[in-house]
Amino acid sequence: MALDGIYLYSLINELKNSIINTKIDKINQPEKDEIILTLRGKEQKKLLISSSSNYPRIHFTTVVKNNPLQPPVFCMLLRKYLIGGRIINLSQESTDRIVFIDIENKDELGFDSIYTLIVEIMARHSNITLVRKRDNKVMESIKHITANKNSFRVLYPGVTYVLPPVSNKINPFNFSLNDLSKNFKEINENINDNIFSLLITGVGKNLSKYLFFKFNLIYNQNFNIENLYNFINSIFK
């Protein structure tokens, strides 16, 4: 099952209880697009973060993997800045598939500093990036993005981190009737079981089909803006 933004929203709320205030003991990179953080708190846990094009994800794991004899550059840099650091926050960009892990640790001069591990779970565009929070500079990324690959933004050491392009879809936990109306007008002539994935940030096709079915049970396919507004609020608020 694809990891959409709404599922990720629930997952993050569960992960928060287990990882906030834990310390990072170990960092490994068993695959070219995957890292594992060993966290120490009340109990030891391993957090797997993958930027795989086919199966990007973030979750706890108990699987033991072999690590390369020579750790990749990305892994070595994460170890330099994050080992011994404390996770102080876990958040999400709206209900999009972007996760921020804030880590407090000492910098090279011994001063307290905050680093953000940004996880973008976006199929072949998935990525993991370490950013220095005070100036939003990219320190390293597991996949470098250059201008010839992406005209909107680049991702490599030294550049300012820029979020992926933002859609006009609504945040289902914080929107107005006017917000919904603007988006609905653009798709009013194309109403099908994909409508909720076109309207709402973080809703994938499978969830959209379920919401379409449930909406029709309640409103008998009467897709006017008031019914949509009331329905979305009843589901997400």
Alpha-carbon distance of 197 to 179, in angstroms, equals 15
If the chain, 237 residues long, is cut into consecutive pieces of 10 residues, what is the mean pLDDT of each piece?
85 94 98 97 95 95 94 98 98 95 92 96 95 97 91 92 89 94 80 92 94 94 91 93
Question: In the numeric block, which tokens belong to residue 64?
Answer: 């033991």
pLDDT computed for residue 171 by the predictor? 94
pLDDT computed for residue 149 by the predictor? 83
| Burial bucket for residue 62 (CB in 10 Å: 0-12, 13-18, 19+) | exposed
pLDDT computed for residue 151 by the predictor? 77
pTM for this model (two decimals):
0.92
Strands (DSSP E) along the chain, which ranges?
Answer: 23-31, 34-40, 44-50, 57-60, 86-92, 98-106, 112-120, 127-132, 137-141
Alpha-carbon distance of 183 to 169, in angstroms, equals 7
Residue ranges and CATH numbers for the domains of the chain are 5-141 (2.30.310.10), 177-236 (no CATH)
The pLDDT tens digits for 125-168 are 999 999 999 999 999 999 999 988 877 899 999 999 999 987 88
